[in-house]
Structure 1
Amino acid sequence: MKKFIDVVKNRRSIYAIGKESEYSIEQIVERLREVQNHVPTAFNSQTSRLVVLSGEANEKFWELIYTVQKDVLSQDMWDYMSPVIVGAKEGLGTVLFFEDREAVATMPTQGQRTEAYKQNNSANAQYATWLALAEMNLGGSLQHFNIGYEQGFDSAVREMFDLPNSFEMIAQIPFGSIVQPAAEKEVIAGEEKVRLIK
């Protein structure tokens, strides 16, 4: 078993992914289910919903994203992001992150606090998932395509996979074997990020 800090270090944004893995997609899903049972949520609200796509479903999803985004993004942004979209189709699968708006509505909060808790719940689910994938030697990257429930940007995804209308898409992590590792990254001093005051 890897040490926690090693898993944290190994979790990087990996864009060049493939379909090889020592784990079946069913084993990956089972691991994610186990992890999600222990992800903290505000008031134990458990509002996050994950949908794992593989095979044809994964390809259909990224074809939709490609078709939509090529007409939405500026040319410069399209040049930057289109390889990410194309590369995502080459992976083993994609985790879609949703927040169930019906579950969110049951939290004993309102207004901005509800929105903050919803985003925190999803962020916890995303990071825990990413760490779990890294622990299984799988690479991935966090993406935010076609998000926007109020504007209807994610409605086509719900329709494509027959998901409840209450599901609001927050993010995606395409994942797979690591074809090309991430480059070294610069980090600012730990003392800047974490301060000790006595």
Structure 2
Amino acid sequence: MSSAQYLDALKTRRTYYNITPKSPIPDARIEEIVQQVVLHTPSSFNSQSSRAVVLLKKEHEKLWDIVAEVLKPVVPEGGWPATEKKLQGFKSGYGTVLFFEDQEPIRRLQEAFPLYQESFPGWSEHTSGMIQLSTWTALELEGFGASLQHYNPLIDQKVKTAWNIPSTWNLIAEMPFGVPGAPAGDKAFSPIEERVKVYGK
């Protein structure tokens, strides 16, 4: 693959809120994509602290029922219909990838390298961000639409209980995906000249 092909994949990646419970690829391929992304994404000091849980079909729906159950008591009554509609949109997809960071390898590195102990948690989230983007882009190349959500930490404990997640895994983000049911919305860009500077050319 050339850099142009890679950049084209990044350019076409978008946020899809309208997704359907369909998949253009076998479940085994979805699993393989997430495994390969997690396996080959670099991490600081090779910590390999990133974790992922793939929820498909009924398990995926169960997650969004949990989110609704947790949110309803804390969302203002007048705002609940809009929130419920949004959550139903996520639930109508095919699956969700949950992204976690395991704190145990991070703690080991903090003990081994005390000079950098305050930096390791942030560095681990850098790796998680790379994994999220790579997963998102790979799924979209296969015909899925996805979005990135953050209902953590409100849902953390119920998620850990529902899927027997180790206590040391911190939930970072949730990515619902499915075949798009409608085009992605328009995307606005700030001037790139204000965001990237080059010296010495």
Q: Structures share a fold, TM > 0.5? A: yes
Q: Distance in 1 between matches of 2:37 and 2:79?
A: 34
In structure 2, the partner of 1:58 is 60
Contact 2:24-2:179 at 8 Å conserved across structures: no
Q: Name the larger-Rg structure.
A: 2
In structure 2, the partner of 1:23 is 25
Contact 2:148-2:176 at 8 Å conserved across structures: yes
Q: 1:85 to 1:194 in 2, by over 3 A?
A: same
Structure 2: runs of 5 or more not aligned: none
**TM alignment of 1:100-139, pairs within 5 A:** 100-107=102-109, 108-109=113-114, 111-139=117-145
Find runs of 4+ consecutive structure 1 residues off by over 4 angstroms. Answer: 75-80
Q: Distance in 1 between matches of 2:90 and 2:129?
A: 21
TM-score between both structures, scaled by the size of structure 2: 0.88
Secondary structure of 1:184's match? coil
Secondary structure of 2:96's match? strand
> Of 59, 82, 85, which residue of structure 1 is paired with 2:84?
82
Contact 1:36-1:128 at 8 Å conserved across structures: no
Q: Distance in 1 between matches of 2:63 and 2:39?
A: 26
> Of 135, 144, 155, which residue of structure 1 is paired with 2:150?
144
TM-score between both structures, scaled by the size of structure 1: 0.89
> Of 19, 40, 46, which residue of structure 2 is paired with 1:38?
40
Deviation at 1:81, TM superposition (A): 3.6
Contact 1:65-1:146 at 8 Å conserved across structures: no
Q: Distance in 2 between matches of 1:22 and 1:93?
A: 12
Contact 1:18-1:179 at 8 Å conserved across structures: yes
Q: Alpha carbon RMSD of aligned pairs, Å?
A: 2.0
Q: Distance in 1 between matches of 2:185 and 2:42?
A: 31
Aligned residues: percent identity? Answer: 35
Q: Pick the structure with more helix per residue.
A: 2
Deviation at 1:20, TM superposition (A): 2.1
In structure 2, the partner of 1:161 is 163
| More displaced stretch, 127-136 vs 2-11 | 2-11
